Structure 1
Amino acid sequence: MDTRIVDQPGFRLVGHATRVRLVHHGVNPEIQRHITALPTAAHLRLKALGDTEPSGLLAVSDDLDPDYAEGSELTYLHGVAVSPGTPVPDGLDIIDVPAGRWVIIRTSGPHPQALQKAWATAAAVWFPSHPWRLRPGPEIVAVLESTNDAHTATCELWLPVEPA
């Protein structure tokens, strides 16, 4: 797995949030409906607002069930990362993220399958063989590159970690 550990100062995730059910395999239809319902201007506004890492438009999962049970509810935010002092326009949801360590897992291939496989491999292989465990916080996917149809993508999966 292509991984790296980073110390990240505190930041804010801002965007458009909704509650969805967790889907382990394939495209999550509730997330897909949420994103496609946003007007093009909303995506452009978010892209212009982002000013820190992780960069670009982000897929954020927060308030996850500790057991990651299929069908459990979570908060999904389609947004960007901004520095703590960045003014946030009205009408956007905010998740404040404290400073901390993150494991960043880079994936490339069919989307979302490559990303889902990387997360499963991290849970089954990477975490048990490294001195890290998940800590509370959102899980973030930064799409670095994708084809026009979004069926193939290069992503970074940001998972909050602490020493085990």
Structure 2
Amino acid sequence: MDSIQNMNRALAYIEANLDDEIDFGQVARIASCSEHQFNRMFSFLSGVGLSEYIRNRRLTLAAMELQSGTAKVIDVALKYGYNSPDSFSRAFQHMHGVAPSLVKENGSLLKAYPPMTFQLTIKGGAEMNFYFVEKEAFNIVGIKETVDTTGGNFHPEIWNELENDDLLKKLEQFSNTDFQGILHVNANITANSRDYYISVATTKDDSQEFTTFEIPAATWSVFKTSGPQPDTMLKTWERIYAEWLPSSGYELAESIEFVRDLNDPTDLSAYEIWVPVKKR
């Protein structure tokens, strides 16, 4: 339950700063997680991206001010983070269907996007199979791409490399530990980018073709997923954030999360999701 309360405290901070610059580092600290984890948890719990939610809330408040007050469009635009009346007008009209200069006319219908709060709902029914692993730091070697995630985009070009059997065979030659399988790792995550690896665990450090990276020691909660991909995996991620974490007694830890392809010949859709956690 603490994670839900922390999320609501973070939302209260956002709500109090809609007419100012929002410190997303502070948002994450209030929620007791990283910025990346907060964005993911918010998205899974709410079904909408954080930036879209903030934009909708600001445009709701802007409409109320324009309709009931004497504020100028340019002043309201600047107040809610728009650098020009034109960009504000486009966003406003896209949401409300009317130009901001016309909201006071009779019959203008505006949309309201109320502030959001989260509550824990016990759904019951479907079980979740998981186990805990305490693992020492280990190295991975793999194909790396720095992905521009501006605007919520996340489509690594190197996903195409998964069709390249020769390249994957070269990569698998570096897999010399008992931690087998292709690892899909996100690291060095910022507000606008992340490093994405298709990799294997290894003790070798002599690769000329691939990039090495160390995953620090941590405790992970591991969830197995099997079924049509990527839908099954996305649904499992959603349940981890929306159902398991709020009721587990654990919270997200500052470490690396990744997906492990089990390479199970009897179930090609079998993956494990590794989520770094710590006791509350």
TM-score (norm 2): 0.47
Q: Deviations for 1:44-80, whole angstroms, at most 9, x for unmatched residues?
A: 12112113354211111223358xxxxx532110110
Distance 1:91 1:145, change over 3 A: closer
Q: Deviations for 1:22-62, whole angstroms, at most 9, x for unmatched residues?
A: 6xxxx9463523544xx433211211211335421111122
1:119 partner SS: helix
Give the conservation status (yes or no) of the 8 Å contact 1:14–1:88: no
1:79 alignment partner, one of 185, 190, 199? 199
Between structures 1 and 2, the one with greater helix share: 2
Matched ranges for 1:119-130 at <5 A: 119-130=237-248
2:169 equivalent to 1:44: yes
2:280 equivalent to 1:144: no
- 1:20 Cα shift? 2.4
In 2, Cα distance between equivalents of 1:117 and 1:31 = 23
**In the alignment, which residue of structure 2 is the partner of 1:55?**
180
| Uncovered stretches (5+) of structure 1, i.e. residues with no partner | 67-71
Give the conservation status (yes or no) of the 8 Å contact 1:7–1:101: yes
Q: Deviations for 1:98-133, whole angstroms, at most 9, x for unmatched residues?
A: 222111110000111111111111000111111222
Q: Compute the RMSD of aligned alpha carbons.
A: 2.6
Larger Rg: 2
2:271 equivalent to 1:155: yes
Among all aligned residue pairs of Structure 1 and Structure 2, give the percentage whose two residues are the same amino acid: 26
Give the conservation status (yes or no) of the 8 Å contact 2:182–2:260: yes
Distance 1:96 1:104, change over 3 A: same
Between structures 1 and 2, the one with greater strand share: 1
In 2, Cα distance between equivalents of 1:133 and 1:61 = 19
Distance 1:162 1:48, change over 3 A: same
Q: Aligned residue pairs: how many?
A: 148
In 1, Cα distance between equivalents of 2:171 and 2:209 = 12
Point out which structure has higher relative CO (alpha carbons under 8 A, 6+ apart). 1
TM-score (norm 1): 0.77
Distance 1:146 1:31, change over 3 A: farther
1:110 alignment partner, one of 228, 231, 236? 228
